Structure 1
Amino acid sequence: MNSGAGSGSGGTSGAVPTGSHSGAPTTAKTASTSHTSAAPSSGSSTSAPGAVAGKDATVVIGVGTVRVVIYEDYRCPICKTVHDQIQPVLNTKLAAGSIKVEFHAIDLIDHSAGGKGSLAAGNAASCALPAFKFQPYREALFAAQPSETDDAFADPNELITIAKTVSGLDSPTFEDCVRAQPYAGSIESTYAAEFGSGKLVGVPSVFVNGTQWKVPSSGDVAASFTQALAAAGA
């Protein structure tokens, strides 16, 4: 169900720039230079072919010239493993201003195994962006990840409880966003465009300047990712 694998884990802390919602869902092969890490903003996802009405769930962080695109599912254990190992690399490169990272939440496990937790968690992560808490809440979601067969993230109360561990995030605005799921349509649209169409087959799927990085099945995942960034100029 999920492609890519990694072993071991690494730290995920570190200050990184805040991000913005992009104007419309994009594919990993289409460059976008119109979004920066300035104050977060929400965009309509109706401007792209096949997009649906609602807020765009895509989150863009950083101002660098090397573009990293990550498709991930918060219910996916391999996504967590890879995240734990490459996030310190991302943090370093973001702090240096050498990369721009585009995050796409995917509800792949919902589609393949049932449930709604992937969709709900992806929506909640985007809900955290206006409070400038996308990265810490994303970290908290991976840290609190249930087993793949446990659809705990489908419960909005669980997502809100996790938010209470992130200082300054939980608020009536955030809680309303978690329950209303304004980003759900965008997440479903991205799934249909990239995975339902067969363009991508598993998560995590990571692209560096349009070229897919092959996640090593063994060895030093962080070193492999660092090499891929260096080859792209970051």
Structure 2
Amino acid sequence: MSEKNREGKRTARERLAVEREKQKTAEKRRRTLIVGASVVCVLGLAAVIGVVAANAGKDDPADSADGPVVAPSGANGDDNLAIPVGKANARSTLTIWEDFRCPACKSFEDAYRSTIHELTGSGELKVQYHLATIIDGNMGGSGSRKAANAAACAQDAGKFTAYHDVLYENQPQETDDAFAKDSKLIELAKKVDGLDTTTFRTCVEDGTHDTWVTKSAAAFSKGGFSGTPTVLLDGKNIYQDQTMTPAKLKQQVQEAN
């Protein structure tokens, strides 16, 4: 083979080597861009999740109410934000923060309802009900606020406890904002003797206590509570007690008395 031919082959091999190196560099750059784009997507998703989490539980400003605060009849406590049930001189106090759209609140009510009724009826326990609207903030809608307003209207009529129980017994699915409809709340009032009156209907349809409900919801947010229901017996959080049962609640109340 002539020197000229050998030189030509060597030059061809060198060109091939250079081309392969270029391809490797291009492939490496492509992988880097793909990984970088993936990281950006993940960070973007994380940012979206962070925004959603930061806003979870916040009431929709569109669901807030303006105007004078009209507390329901007999409301007491700080800023008249509590609806009292039971005898005022009962030695034990159960404070309940709840939301009529909240499934966990329904579970608590279903389990403890009869015991609470028994203890309030015997004069051993009084209950301070505080109404929140956390599910409106989490799921959207206005059913929490509207149901709370309707319950306050029932309090005006002296029918709070009965209507309160009816709302939980007929609670829709968490994603179903059925309580946002005045007609639904008025329909459920028919289950309580003497509640379905013109006065009650007007109170529900006009949102008489909407601003009071909004103020109560704000008090819940400022209270630093972890969620609904929040249940305090003489200031001690018993809902977080894994061993708590209706029988244990009754025992603690009776021991305090």
TM-score by shorter chain over 0.5 = yes
- RMSD in angstroms over aligned alpha carbons? 2.3
Residue equivalent to 1:210: 235
TM-score computed with the length of structure 1 as normaliser? 0.72
* In structure 2, distance between residues paired with 1:228 and 1:92: 14
Q: 1:200 to 1:183 in 2, by over 3 A?
A: same
Any conservation in 2 of the 1:215–1:221 contact (CA below 8 Å)?
no
Q: Matched residue of 2:101: which SS? A: coil
How do 1:166-205 residues align onto structure 2 when only pairs under 5 Å count? 166-195=192-221, 197=222, 199-205=224-230
Any conservation in 1 of the 2:97–2:229 contact (CA below 8 Å)?
yes
Q: 1:215 to 1:82 in 2, by over 3 A?
A: farther
Q: Give the unaligned 5+ runs of structure 1.
A: 3-18, 27-47, 49-55
Q: Matched residue of 1:100: which SS? A: strand
Does 1:80 find its partner at 2:106? yes
Q: How far apart are 1:220 and its partner, in Å?
A: 6.6
Q: Which has the higher contact order (CA 8 A, sep 6+)?
A: 1
Show CA shifts across 1:100-122 (max 9, x none). 11111111100111110000001
* In structure 2, distance between residues paired with 1:213 and 1:220: 7
Q: How far apart are 1:179 and its partner, in Å?
A: 1.1
One of 114, 136, 140 as aligned partner of 1:114? 140
* In structure 1, distance between residues paired with 2:202 and 2:229: 29
* In structure 2, distance between residues paired with 1:192 and 1:107: 9
* In structure 1, distance between residues paired with 2:147 and 2:239: 25
* In structure 2, distance between residues paired with 1:149 and 1:75: 9
Q: 1:130 to 1:192 in 2, by over 3 A?
A: closer
**In the alignment, residue 245 of structure 2 is paired with which amino acid?**
V
* In structure 1, distance between residues paired with 2:99 and 2:120: 22
Any conservation in 2 of the 1:74–1:141 contact (CA below 8 Å)?
yes
How do 1:28-107 residues align onto structure 2 when only pairs under 5 Å count? 48=79, 58-63=82-87, 64-107=90-133
Q: How far apart are 1:227 and its partner, in Å?
A: 4.0
Residue equivalent to 1:125: 151
Show CA shifts across 1:121-178 (max 9, x none). 0110110123221111111111111000000000000000111121111011000000
* In structure 2, distance between residues paired with 1:124 and 1:21: 15
**In the alignment, residue 250 of structure 2 is paired with which amino acid?**
T
* In structure 2, distance between residues paired with 1:68 and 1:169: 26
Total equivalences in the alignment:
186
Q: Give the unaligned 5+ runs of structure 2.
A: 1-55, 58-71
* In structure 2, distance between residues paired with 1:61 and 1:179: 25
TM-score computed with the length of structure 2 as normaliser? 0.66
Show CA shifts across 1:79-118 (max 9, x none). 1111011111111111111111111111110011111000
Larger Rg: 2
Residue equivalent to 2:247: 223
Show CA shifts across 1:176-197 (max 9, x none). 00011222212221222222x3
* In structure 1, distance between residues paired with 2:85 and 2:73: 7
Q: Matched residue of 2:93: which SS? A: strand
- The runs of at least 4 consecutive aligned structure 1 residues that moved more than 6 Å come to none
* In structure 2, distance between residues paired with 1:94 and 1:107: 25
* In structure 1, distance between residues paired with 2:223 and 2:192: 36
* In structure 1, distance between residues paired with 2:85 and 2:129: 8
Any conservation in 2 of the 1:21–1:57 contact (CA below 8 Å)?
no
Does 1:21 find its partner at 2:80? no
Q: Matched residue of 1:207: which SS? A: strand
